[in-house]
Each structure stands twice: as structure tokens, then as C-alpha cells.
Structure 1
């Protein structure tokens, strides 16, 4: 993927940039999964990854509308985007299927939406009889070839995609359906303006002050909505911010974090994981969130932020279109970077792909070919990523949603992959520690909300526990701590 480690947005580059993630009822998971961490081709080369020749079906070599037009079959596609299967969706899935069938009239596409996607698809994978295309869940990289068809080498994909992340030993197994900013903040700009907030907060202290200002302006407005009850909408949305947004370091999430001693400790400069999670703790402790966190409602919060009952939520940029479509005030919905300023004096934003299309390695040859046609159509011809408010995945696609103009001057940081031999180490540390960093780790954040609400533990007590759990996991996994 021809993506620099840092991408500073200028007026010109905003329109040319090809890099948000659109989510759904269960999403974010991809932005947040250890197995779906964005990578760059340059990074994979630096890591010394060897490429193996990929024979048979090949993404780069497929010519849409010319190849496999004689195939007659039905393919089953699993998706987390249940919202696009409902009446009233801005661009329903059927629209894309109809356009695909203009090119491939004899390929029938059967879409199945799954609400609890991250968990259910892992069970379906293990069962084997799941269909032909799915968004790849959090499987170990070493197991990708067991379940999914190889689509090409990293070198081949460099010429096709701005992002890919499901790769192992130089072979790519998945194509992201969209890409975007992780761990930013969706907000109602009309509420912020009415409360007298004229500049976007750039530090945690400024952000908490803004939330207080909103509450003082109108106590009926929820300044920050936690989405506690929808666990995926917590860990999957806050965790990515501890990488690029909080450090500006493209190697942090998949390389340095694994070896860092006490990674949640306060660095003393307003950056790092400590100051990301502290925003949530402080907001809850100071009464700047919903009154009863256990009653939060994911579907309901969309309309609430649209009509100004909620001021903001920490979510990936994929959520912006959903919030815009949830009421009559689309123009009031905006997006801002997570409020941390680096020691350089600049802000950064973590950017990367969402879930990736993967093709069943164990289905029939005709269905694999039909599935590849569908995946490439959705990536290169359908406009799916753009419709989801996403940054373009395909190099040939250059359209960019308007709301990214707000990130002018912000460094976009794309996480580099793990070094060779440590591809699954983050998964191992997550499993051993139970923290599930960047892998739908809602449990730790739900505990944080609970403790902040009842005062049972201070923030530093929680952080000390997380550091102890992480250190113990490092020791159990034989990790060299630096």
C-alpha cells in the first residue's frame, strides 16, 4: 500500500488522498481488531516479510466485466452492516447487488447480516459451512490460509489498494471494504456552537472543559455518550486512539506496545494511552455522561446526537454517515480528531482499514471466482467505501467525503504491521492479560465507567492493575520488556 507513515492533509491533498471505516451495529470491530491492523507495503518490506508466489485466482489480474462472465452460481456474503439491509438505508445493499448484476447477471448474491458479528463469525468459521465471502474476523494471521483464499502478494496489491491488512508472509488474504479515522469524535456542531465553544479542543483538559461548558449551557444535553451497553462501541472505538492519535508513532500499536514496560502509565506530557482513557474516566466521574450508563442504546443514540440531545461520542469516522442519516439535522453532524496534542505541537489521527472481504478457501472454484468478481466490484466500482463515509481503498478511486476537510493539517498515522515472527503476539498478550487492546476490549472500559461512576477505584488504581496484567502477560509470553 503506497501510504506514507504520516500524511499531513493540505487543501490539495484532501481531495487527492486515498486512504475511514464505516461501521454498523457491531462494527468498529475491524478498526479495533488485532488481526485487522492496517499496514503499509513499505512497512512489510522493512519487516523482512518474504513473499510467496500466489497462483490461481488473483485480484490484480482479474478484469471486471470480461473475466468469468460465463459463471452461473449463487454466492453467500456475510456482513456486519445490518443497517444496509433495513428499509430506509441511504444506499441499501441491494443497490450494489443490482449494479453488480448488470455486469454479472448470472451471479446471484445472497447477503446475510449478523448483529453480533465479531463473535458469531468466529463460530461460523470453525463450523466451516458459512458461505463464500465474509468480513474477516479476529483470526490469527497464521491461520488466514486455513480459511481464506490468497488474493495476491503484497507487491501485487501495492498497485491495486491504498490499504490492506489481512496478510501473512507476503500473501494478502483480504481486501478492506473501507478505511478511515479510528478513535475520533463525532459531535453536534450546533450544540458546541450554542454552548459558546468556538475552537475545537486539542487537549484532554480542553475537552473536559468543553463538556462542562455544554452541561452549563443546557443540563438536558448529554455532553459525552459512553455507549456502555453496546460493548463493541467502547473498546473498539477508544482503543485505536492510543496509537497514532496519542503517540504519532506508526510503529506503536503492533510493535512497541508489545515490548513496552507499563504502557498505560502517565508519560507526564498529556499524550499516550493514559490520557486517552482518562478522558472517559474523568467525564463519567464529573457527571458529564448519561445518568445511567447501563441504559445506553446504540440505535437510539444516532437520532439523539442528530437532534442535539447528545453533544458527542468517541467513534470511528464510519459512524458519521449513520449519525447524519438519523434525523433532519445532517448538517449539524461533524467529526474532530481525538483531543491530544503531541509534544511536537501537532495533532495526529489513527487511520486504517475496517473489516476486510475474505473469500472462503474451501468453497467451489466457480464460487471463488464469482466471489472475487463481487469483492473487486465492491472495492473498485460500487462506491461502497465513499457511501459509507470512507476513504478510498482502491487506488483508482479518488473521491473523499466532505467531512474530512476538518482534518486539514492533521497527521494521518497508519499503523505498521508487527515485525516478522510477532504477527500474533498482540493476540497472545491480549488473551493472557484479558485487556484485549484494539480487539474489542470493552470489558476493561466498562469497568472503568463503573468505577468512575461509583468511585470504587481511582483512575490510577485501574491503570496500575492494567499495567500489572500486561506485565504478567509479557512475562508469560516470554516477551523482552524494553
Structure 2
């Protein structure tokens, strides 16, 4: 992946020089009509739910045609395609795109000031220079999805308050049930990136991302990344995860958790509905906060999922924008998928009842100071510790299961060194 990402960075610099602030030229006649291509990661519902969206949108805007491209390895494939101009009309902004690259690839949708009254997640996510470049398809709380039957069978009916209590619960599950206590979904990679969602939830600090970008040793004892990645390492080392992580299967894992063969997965709350659909009863699936308390209470960061955006090279930006507005305001995708709607006037979903019952405090991360937007992700990408893509956590799993000769201390020391060196070079 190094070569395409390097190309992406180079292209961003070139496009920024050519495109300025993101292109005021609409590239079409400004009228809603004609065909658009929409890229999506939802391979599971592109031929069902999304076809209903297509019918409703085309009925509202006669003369339009929506074509979907569903991509399994969304991050990897789209990142490569963005070295060309051919990456759809509407797409989900890949996590590997740094904030300062947004104007090179995407059309601005409006300013933060204009949009923050109506929409969640626009103050801090996929914004740059006071402009918004994407609207969330849904919002997520952070924690883990679990099979209530299995946890109850193991004697655990309240959410663990510490990492050690969580490990004790996994041990009880292993000893008292036939289920795999915790499933990493190692092979697909991206599910391990979901552990990054605990950033801010561990500390209960809305400035967590800002502080991370200024920290030379995020993996030092007591800090968020030490706590998050220690829990992963310790769970794997203790044998509480799948026997052979190289053979995991994301689509299959949903059915395994739904039917109780897997007990737990560390995923955003978007996962709850998918697990419920794979379970005999939706009531079998629960969602709890990350096992750590700050100030005597659980916290969860509520943030946006992938953001719909307009390809700056699109020849039909008016229809692309109409699709994004319709999808956000009218499709009901977020609520139907058990997520937090990006529309502020919408209520919280029932899928988050477990967080509410645990008296979890919901927080949104604060926007970074001007000039520091997306800085933590930029440091991570440059250091080859991309925080959300799961690759470096695959290394943690490999070491913990004995496939790589590295202790936890050695891993964290190396991560701190790479992070610190990169921070210094980026200053």
C-alpha cells in the first residue's frame, strides 16, 4: 500500500496547486439530471436496500440515473483509484485521506458555520479551512457488540468497568461456554482499526485527538493507546480470541456472533443491526462501552461514520450533491442501520440502550486548532501507523499469538519511537 499512498500524496500536492480551494467550476450545467456513479462499501445491501434508495431518488428527480459500485476492499481499492480521476461521482472519503488533502479530491459542500446547525459531525470530521467536504452516512457510538445469551451464560450481566474485568469476563466465557470469547476479524484488517474508536472513550476527554497529535509517547503506560492496545494484546496472548486469525471472515463472523459461536467483537455501534439480523432474536445482541472508566463513569465518543463526498472531477456535481442531500436527509439509512442520524433533529436509536443503561456519557471530540486538522492521522500515516486501517494492530496480534518475536513492551517502545520521530519531522 505504500506506493499508492505515496502517489496519493503527490497527486494531492499537484491537484491543490491546480485546483486551488477545491474548484468553483461546477463542471456541469448546474441542473439535477443525468447519471451518477455512487461508490459504497455496503456489498451486503447494495442489491436490496440500495435499490430501494435508487427508486426513491430517481422518482423524486425524474431524468436521473443512479449506478452503484460496491467495493469489498473499499479503503485499498479507492485509495488506488484516487490516483486517477475515475473514482465515482459520489464516494465515501477513505480514512487515509488527510484533512489538508480534502480540497484536492473533493468538492466543498458548504462551510462549517452554515452546516453545523443542522448536521452532526461537521465541526471536526472531513473539514478543512472552515469548509465541509463530506456528510456522514450515519453516526456511531463506540464500544463492543456482544451476544447477551453467551455473556449471561458465563455469569456476566453488567458491563466490565476495567480492562482486567473485561479479560476476566472473556476467561469466564471461554471456561463456561463453547463460544470464542473475542473475535478480532484479523484477516480483513479494517475491523482491527475499529479499536481506534475507543480514543476519547477511554479518557472521557473531548480533546483526546488534539492531545494525541502533541504526544511523543502515546503508548506509554496509562495513556489511551497503551490501554486500548494492551487489552488487544493481552486477550490474544491469553487465548481468548480465534484459534487461527489468518482465516477469519467478516461476513461469516456476523452469523457466528448472532448465533453465539462468537461472544464479542470490538466494533462501532453501526454493527449492532447487522448482528441482530444474523441472530435468532434481535434481543440476543447487546452493546456496551469500552471497559474503562474516567471519573467513575463510562464514556463513549459519538462520531460520524464514512462521509459521502463529491469527486472534484465529477461531470455531474449537481446530481451528486442532490444524492448526498437526499441520502442524508430522507433515506433514513442511519436510523434503519441502528446508527445516530447526522441530522441533529433526529432522536437516538434503540440500539444504544445498553450504553444508556450503563449511564454512559456521550461526548463528541472537539475541533482541532486551525492548522492542526487531522494532524494525528497525518502523523500516523507518515509513520506507517495508520490508526484506523488495522495494519499495525495486526502486528500486535501476531506478536501476542507468537507469530512474531516481539514482546508487548518492545512493540510499544517501537511505536512510540516511530511516532515521536515522525512528529518531529512534520513540525
Q: Give the TM-score of the pair, scaled to structure 1.
A: 0.78
1:418 corresponding residue in structure 2:
368
Distance 1:207 1:110 in 2: 44
1:139 corresponding residue in structure 2:
97
1:78 corresponding residue in structure 2:
39
Whether the 8 Å contact between 1:307 and 1:329 is mirrored in structure 2 is no
**Displacement after TM superposition at 1:424 (Å):** 4.9
**Displacement after TM superposition at 1:359 (Å):** 1.1
Structure 1 counterpart of 2:130, from 138, 163, 170: 170
1:11 corresponding residue in structure 2:
none
Structure 2 counterpart of 1:301, from 236, 243, 253: 253
Whether the 8 Å contact between 1:246 and 1:273 is mirrored in structure 2 is no
Equivalence map 1:310-329=2 (5 Å): 310-329=262-281
The Cα offsets for residues 261-298 of structure 1, whole Å up to 9 and x where unpaired, read as 3111112xxx6221111111111111111111111111
Structure 1: 4+ residue segments shifted above 6 A:
52-57
* Other structure's SS at 1:76 match: strand
**Displacement after TM superposition at 1:373 (Å):** 1.3
Distance 1:94 1:395 in 2: 26
2:314 corresponding residue in structure 1:
363
Equivalence map 1:129-278=2 (5 Å): 129-137=86-94, 138-164=96-122, 165-182=125-142, 184-218=143-177, 220-234=178-192, 236-241=193-198, 243-253=199-209, 255-267=210-222, 272-278=224-230
The Cα offsets for residues 322-363 of structure 1, whole Å up to 9 and x where unpaired, read as 111124232201111110111x11111122001111112222
Distance 1:71 1:198 in 2: 53
**Displacement after TM superposition at 1:204 (Å):** 0.4
**Displacement after TM superposition at 1:56 (Å):** 8.5
Distance 1:436 1:107 in 2: 38
Structure 1 counterpart of 2:302, from 351, 355, 360: 351
Whether the 8 Å contact between 1:54 and 1:152 is mirrored in structure 2 is no
Distance 2:362 2:412 in 1: 27
Could you tell me which runs of 5 or more consecutive residues in structure 2 were left unpaired when the two chains were aligned. 1-20
Distance 1:131 1:443 in 2: 26
Distance 1:468 1:159 in 2: 41
Distance 1:155 1:475 in 2: 33
2:3 corresponding residue in structure 1:
none
Q: Give the TM-score of the pair, scaled to structure 2.
A: 0.88
Whether the 8 Å contact between 2:161 and 2:293 is mirrored in structure 1 is yes
Whether the 8 Å contact between 1:54 and 1:171 is mirrored in structure 2 is no
**Displacement after TM superposition at 1:458 (Å):** 2.5
Distance 1:83 1:211 in 2: 30
* Other structure's SS at 1:316 match: coil
Matched, 1:290 2:245: no
Change in CA separation of 1:300 and 1:229 when aligned onto 2, cut-off 3 Å: same
Distance 2:146 2:106 in 1: 38
Distance 1:185 1:401 in 2: 16
Distance 2:323 2:392 in 1: 38
* Other structure's SS at 2:37 match: strand
Matched, 1:117 2:74: yes
Deviates more, 1:427-436 or 1:74-83: 427-436
Whether the 8 Å contact between 2:22 and 2:105 is mirrored in structure 1 is no
Distance 1:319 1:289 in 2: 19
Whether the 8 Å contact between 1:53 and 1:153 is mirrored in structure 2 is no
Give me the CA root mean square deviation: 2.1
Distance 1:428 1:222 in 2: 35
Matched, 1:402 2:360: no
Distance 1:406 1:427 in 2: 30
Distance 2:306 2:32 in 1: 27
2:52 corresponding residue in structure 1:
95
